[in-house]
Chains A and B, each alone.
Chain A
Amino acid sequence: MEHKAVATSASSHPAAIARLQIERDVIMAMQKPGLMYWGLVGLFATIFAVLLLGTWAALIWKGIGLFGLQNPVGWAFDIINFVFWVGIAHSGTLISAVLFLFRSKYRSSFNRAAEAMTVIAVMCAGMYPLIHLGRGWFFFWLLPYPNQRLLWTNFKSPLEWDVFAVSTYLTISVVFFYVGLIPDFAIVKRYTRGFSRHIYSALSLGWVGTKRQWRNYNMLYSLLAGIAAPLVLSVHSVVSWDFAMGLVPGWHTTIFAPYFVAGAIFSGCGMVLTLCIPMRKIQKLERVMPIDHFEKLAKTMLFTSMIVGYAYTIEFLLAYYSGNVYEFGIFKDRATGYYKYQYWGMVFCNMIVPLPLFIKKLRRNMKWLFITSIFVNIGMWLERFVIIVTSLAHEYDPYAWGVYHPRWPEWCLTIGTFGFFFMMFLLFCKFLPVVAITEKKEEVH
């Protein structure tokens, strides 16, 4: 993509200079990428192609018996990764939509990157239901379409709710992302020539910023933010109900919905930090992404970490209170059984590691935040592992207790989706403006 700085009108007004500076800072980040960048994209693309697509091909060829799934653990990495990626996606929508509703000032630094993260993460998540179906090409059976056999889907099943929830979430996230980009595409168009210019021009739908356009745009944006916020709550609640509706001890509990939502926001904050801290440094966006904003994100992460900690504690205490031997049995097994390392690793990463964020100095330290965010990502992945695998491994009948070992397809798929995610995010960084230019301009007076 050619980059040509075009001054719109010679002006010495400080406001105009500030606005143009924002434009230039963000457009500079979209400059023609060098070898290092393409090298990284290539690396992640290879990981994606070989590990994910290759494994998927092997699974279709040989069948999903290649997985390490056995009785009693018939559901593991696929659903763990699905929940993990949907959770990450949620934080993006939260940062964008909910902070918009609260008129938060620190939103504008992250919201574009967060929305991109949402869309890419939902795509990653969406692959897993298809993979774990085995015969993924029959996925359309999940959709209620009129057919010759007069069959309809079972709308009472949580898995069907998932179909509706995640498809709605993907659609609305894409719409929200795109609507926010329309004015920015029009700005990028000004800096491009040739074929790229035509693309950005078409994508901007002829936006020029008339009063009519702005009025309707603002109304839609507010309404989309207003419906995206409850959507975040509902989608991850529906995902949590995949488990809570079952009668498995450790799954069938009412706190799952808000607990999973808080966990999703927590893991998403971690991922946003993991992505934005390096991005800020590498693309020299310090001016448009001040440390204050990262501090606010760190506070949100700390807050949600405490909610997750509350849920762990309450579940354990009430399992004991209930006197139910199966309910308390699973909690004892999690802490002392075969998977105790994963369990305590989860507790450490999710409850202990974020605690130092109470100290202001650490909240404002980019290196500390980055390291904490890595631990949070690992901890939240472990949480899903612990919830799913330990509960299935240790249900009611001792004869049915078992142990699960992941095999190569599970690991390859997991790493493969990370490859896809980072590849797409890198592409996003170069082809789309990573900061909402128009919103940043609004802050200039």
Chain B
Amino acid sequence: MGPRLNSKTIYIASIVVAALVFLAEKLLEPGVGGALTITLAVFIGLAEGATVLMAGAEISDGHWHRQLLPGAGALHCILPAAVLLFLVNIPQFAMYPWWESHGVWFNQPFFIGRNVVFLLLMFVLCRVFMVNALRGSSRTNFWAVVLVIAFVWHLSMIGIEWFMSIERPWFSTLLGGFVMVSAFLSGICVLTLIIYSWRTRSDGPAKLIQKSMGGLVFGFATFWAYFFFSQLIVIWYGNIPEETHYLVRRVGPHSPYSLVSKLIFIMVWMFPFAVLLSRKNKTRAWVTSALSIIILTGVTMMYWLMLAPVIPVSIPLLVIEMGLMALLTVAAVRSREALVPALAGPVPAEEHGHATAKAH
């Protein structure tokens, strides 16, 4: 499913995707923004999230993740496409209340510039980390640390600038972290799906790794719920109108989105939690994969819910754009050996300069 690309054609494919999205935006529902922002947040999140999961495992001296490196290996290659799509999205930024003002931080050229620069920086960092990790070089830990720090700031920036500023001056100091955790969770889910698609391959990751993804999904979905609840309870309890209006519009019992918000909470946490409580289910690859799809859908709906009460978001556009990016992602994963040459060889069992750890 999906074509195979190489390091040149991926850029052509990215341009094609960007052009198609541009046309779709122009022709289908002009003047209705938000869909592309959501698409970008979801795909940047899952690409960087999966790579950072590998970085985190590298820093904590895990060895289980080495078999997953090929899976996460080429995901960062969709980030250049994300840059193009970000540029296509520029007309839609008029949806932000600060777009016309000239703040020190929130002004048009600086906003566009820093987001493009940061995206490109993340692409480079992900790539450098991946190549180092695949070659088992001794600098891997260094790049892993740099990548994790950059990821935290990048996703916080996306959360604050793309989603929080739409209801300026409402703010939640945890929203950046919340979006970051959502991205990390998406990364785990997409990695689960990739591994599941390889379950029949002889060189696919060991059954053990397939089983451990269940535990990760369980844990991080709960962590997501903890960040969700932390924000909810502080705002609910304080009951200050300048804070509560944001939640009242989205989660409150009288809001039109009340049912959707409950559904999101159930899809991203309650249902996966209940299902994955059982030890058996944590080890069943098809269960974790089905839950991953549900969680990814829920996370997309969450981004939608952040924007929807303020600006009309076009659902057909969202579906088209998500579909196109999904195709690009699948193509990137399938073409990983061409896109990341370091993937062509076998993944080293351990890193140079690290003592072999006893298998426990």
Contact = CB atoms under 8 A, between A and B. Distances in A.
B175 to A, nearest CB: 8
B230 A254 contact: yes
Interface string B237-255: 1101000000000000000
Interface string B40-70: 0000000000000000000111000000000
Given A245-B237, A247-B238, A247-B240, A255 B177 contact: yes
A313 B145 CA distance: 19
A318 B360 contact: no
B173 interface: yes
Contacts of B34: none
A310 B169 contact: no
A323 interface: yes
A257 interface: yes
5 residue pairs, one from A and one from B, having the closest CB atoms: A255-B173, A254-B174, A257-B230, A254-B231, A255-B174
Contact of B174 (A102, A247, A258): A258
Contacts of B177: 255, 258, 314
A314 B59 CA distance: 24
Given A255-B174, A255-B177, A314-B176, A241 B160 contact: no
Contacts of A158: 237
B171 interface: yes
A358 B145 CA distance: 10
23 contacts: A105-B357, A158-B237, A230-B222, A237-B226, A244-B237, A246-B238, A253-B174, A254-B173, A254-B174, A254-B231, A254-B234, A254-B235, A255-B174, A256-B230, A257-B174, A257-B226, A299-B59, A310-B152, A310-B156, A314-B173, A321-B168, A321-B171, A322-B169
Nearest to B106: A321
Interface string A235-249: 001000100111100
A252 interface: yes
B8 to A, nearest CB: 38
A306 interface: yes
Given A257-B226, A306-B149, A244 B173 contact: no
A315 B173 contact: yes
B227 interface: yes
A21 interface: no
Contacts, number: 75
B169 A314 contact: no
A15 to B, nearest CB: 14
Interface in A333-353: none
B234 A252 contact: yes
B172 interface: yes
A371 to B, nearest CB: 23
B274 interface: no
Interface residues of A, number: 33
B226 A245 contact: no
Interface string B142-161: 00010001001000100010
A241 B231 CA distance: 11
Interface in B219-275: 222, 226-227, 230-231, 233-235, 237-238, 240
A13 interface: no
A324 B169 contact: yes
Contact of A322 (B171, B226, B240): B171
Given A237-B230, A241-B233, A245-B237, A254 B169 contact: no
Interface of A: 102-103, 105, 158, 230, 233, 237, 241, 244-247, 252-258, 296, 299, 306, 310-311, 314-315, 318, 321-324, 358, 445
Interface in B182-217: none
Contacts of B234: 241, 244-245, 252-254, 256
Given A103-B360, A241-B234, A258 B227 contact: yes
B169 A323 contact: yes
Contacts of A310: 152, 156
Contacts of A321: 105, 160, 168-169, 171
Contact of A314 (B156, B168, B230): B156
A252 B238 contact: yes
A253 B226 contact: no
A246 B233 CA distance: 12
A60 to B, nearest CB: 33
Contacts of A241: 233-234, 237
Contacts of B168: 321
A244 B243 CA distance: 13
A175 to B, nearest CB: 22
Contacts of A322: 169, 171
Contacts of A296: 61
Nearest to B64: A103
Nearest to B178: A254
Q: Which of B175, B226, B234, B238 has the most CB of A within 10 A?
A: B234
Nearest to A315: B173
A5 B233 CA distance: 57
Contacts of A324: 169
B171 A318 contact: yes
A311 B156 CA distance: 11
